[in-house]
Amino acid sequence: MSPLFVLLFILSACSTNEWPQLFGPNSNMVIQAKDLPSEWNDSLNIRWTANLEGEGWSSPIVLGDKIFITSSVLVKEAEKPEPKEETEQQGDQLAEEDKSFETAVYRWQLSCLDAKTGKELWKQVSFEGNPRINKHVGSTYACETPVTDGKYVYAYYGMVGVYCYDLAGNLIWEKDLGAYPMLNGWGTGSSPLVYNGNLYVQVDNEENSFLFALDAATGDEKWKVNRDEKTNYSTPVIWKNVNGDELIVMGLTIRSYNPETGDLIWQLKAGGNYGVPSPVFDAEYIYLGTAAGPGESTSLFAVKAGANGDISLAEGETSNEWVVWSNPNTGLTNSSPVLYNGLIYVVASRGGLVSCVDAATGELYYQEKMSKVGACWASPWIYNDQLYFYDERGVTRILKTGKEFELLSENSLDDKFWASVAPTSDAYIFKGVKKIYCVGK
């Protein structure tokens, strides 16, 4: 399995008519803004660009005329370990774990930009010091997307801690949730979620996995649930359905919790390798699944509102009372799918595979393998009745929505992109490695 497979930290989120999802990680990116451009490149429809300090795979978020981004800045490189002579006895033992990352110094920071100009309004350093866990060479120490409830903005940096700021950049509270090893030292990626005065943080790791609900105003613990899971990278979502609110948390077993108490409502054994993509949903059904490795498949499930208890499929089953359908051939990997007009669109992380699935039956309407598509880590979106997605090379493909595949056009920016797009009222905010871009007419 490629190490990059687990390094998508999505970052996808809900429809824009729900307050907590509007300003943070999304699970269904259907954009309602007006007059967004359909064409752009490095010299067309670029309102402004701003250089980025440090690095971070986290996505930008927008609140009114403000953009919030997190980053980690390398202050001092790690000391290189001295090579050791191998003795006959050492040759029969496992290599000693490299702890040199602990000697590096980073600065974790939250920045606020003016959405109209790209000018930095303020920047706050949340923490400066040594990393507490290792990360993959292709990852960063700022993979989690911040979130806001309109009054405060919350930055979570994996195993560094959670920091709450007001909109002027004043620190309101901070909380250390501990530091635990991740699979193969690849790093973290699950973003926080804010809803109804609670901040939810999923901390799945190799040693001690749990789910926190914190008081969003104070950082005080409201409840904590231990989880029988290992490393996951998915972001929780609130499913507002016909029966009430449910906190959906992904993993090899997908679980629904009561968002006020942490009590388990239902669970579904999903298989796969990791919880990475976020679910999409409407008031009656939620569509979800885990990610598998290259060349492997994992199922996309449709679950009906009102489920209770263990709703896992028995061997050989594809549906039951609560699982309306399951399909192992949708191409679901890292990017979150998007639900629109009764159809689910799935973009595979590698190979240029795009699938269209009937939300009512799970039937595949098409599965098209596009050529010259780079790795796709960001989540796709819908705008003006068209499907958009872009690869890490900065090439955005625009497809016709509907049951038949049709490529309409392509746009390109010269940068590397893992973060998902964030819309303003009349522009797109793209966050690359070199710059942040405001794309608008």
- DSSP for 224-250, please give it: EEE-S--------EEEEETTEEEEEE-
As a whole-number percent, the residues of the chain with pLDDT over 70 amount to 91
Residue 4 pLDDT = 28
pLDDT at 89 over 90: no
Return the residue matching tokens 């008519």: 17
pLDDT at 379 over 60: yes
pLDDT at 87 over 80: no
Residue 18 pLDDT = 33
Give per-residue pLDDT as tens, 396-410.
Answer: 999 999 999 999 999
pLDDT at 22 over 90: no
Q: What is the mean pLDDT of the chain?
A: 91
Going by pLDDT thresholds of 50, 70 and 90, the confidence category of residue 270 is very high
Residue 84 pLDDT = 64
Residue 81 pLDDT = 79
pLDDT at 5 over 80: no
Coil, strand or helix at 270: coil
Residue 186 pLDDT = 92
Going by pLDDT thresholds of 50, 70 and 90, the confidence category of residue 96 is low
Residue 16 pLDDT = 30
pLDDT at 83 over 80: no
Going by pLDDT thresholds of 50, 70 and 90, the confidence category of residue 115 is very high
Give per-residue pLDDT as tens, 322-353.
Answer: 999 999 999 999 999 999 999 999 999 999 99
Q: Of 2, 5, 1, 29, which is closest to residue 233 (Cα–Cα)?
A: 5
The average pLDDT across 133-148 equals: 95
| pTM of the full structure | 0.91
Going by pLDDT thresholds of 50, 70 and 90, the confidence category of residue 13 is very low
Residue 414: C-alpha distances to residues 49, 59, 197, 340, 436 (Å): 12, 18, 40, 30, 12
Query: Tokens in use for 75?
Result: 């202050």
As a whole number of Å, the end-to-end CA separation of the chain is: 42
Rounded Cα distance, 204 and 358, in Å: 32
Give per-residue pLDDT as tens, 147-178.
Answer: 999 999 999 999 999 999 999 999 999 999 99
Rounded Cα distance, 212 and 221, in Å: 7
Rounded Cα distance, 364 and 356, in Å: 6
Q: Of 64, 232, 52, 246, which is closest to residue 144 (Cα–Cα)?
A: 232
Residue 14 pLDDT = 30
Give per-residue pLDDT as tens, 218-257.
Answer: 999 999 999 999 999 999 999 999 999 999 999 999 999 9
Q: Of 160, 155, 163, which is closest to residue 130 (Cα–Cα)?
A: 160
pLDDT at 298 over 50: yes
Residue 12 pLDDT = 31
Going by pLDDT thresholds of 50, 70 and 90, the confidence category of residue 86 is low
Going by pLDDT thresholds of 50, 70 and 90, the confidence category of residue 292 is confident
pLDDT at 24 over 80: no
Going by pLDDT thresholds of 50, 70 and 90, the confidence category of residue 280 is very high
Give per-residue pLDDT as tens, 29-79.
Answer: 999 888 999 999 999 999 999 999 999 999 999 999 999 999 999 999 999
Coil, strand or helix at 177: coil
pLDDT at 356 over 60: yes
The CA-based angle 247-231-20, given to 5 degrees, is 30
DSSP 8-class letter at 168? T
* β-strands 338-340, 343-347 pairing: antiparallel
DSSP 8-class letter at 306? T
Give per-residue pLDDT as tens, 252-269.
Answer: 999 999 999 999 999 999
The CA-based angle 133-174-104, given to 5 degrees, is 30
Return the residue matching tokens 């799970």: 362
